[in-house]
Amino acid sequence: MNTTKLDGRTARLERNRAEIVRAQVEHVRETGRLATADEIAERANVSQRSVYRIFGDKATLLREASNYVYRQLAERFPFPELSGLPLQERVYRVVDHLASIYEFITPMKRVLAKSEIDPGVALEERERVRARYMARIRDAFSDLVLPEEPSPVRLRTFGLIASWNAWEYLRSEARLSIEDAKEVIRHAIAAVLKSAASEGSPQTSGAFSDGRSDSRPTTSSIQEGEET
* Residues 51-110 pLDDT 10s: 999 998 888 898 899 889 998 998 899 999 998 899 889 989 999 999 999 999 999 999
Domain that holds residue 194: 73-227
Residues 45 and 92 in one domain: no
Say if 62 falls within a structural domain: no
Domain count, the chain: 2
CA 165 to CA 168: how far, in whole Å? Answer: 5
Residues 86 and 184 in one domain: yes
Residues 126 and 166 in one domain: yes
- What per-residue confidence (pLDDT) applies to 45? 93
Say if 52 falls within a structural domain: yes
pLDDT of 118-159, one tens digit each? 655 556 778 888 888 888 887 887 776 555 555 567 767 878
CA 162 to CA 13: how far, in whole Å? Answer: 40
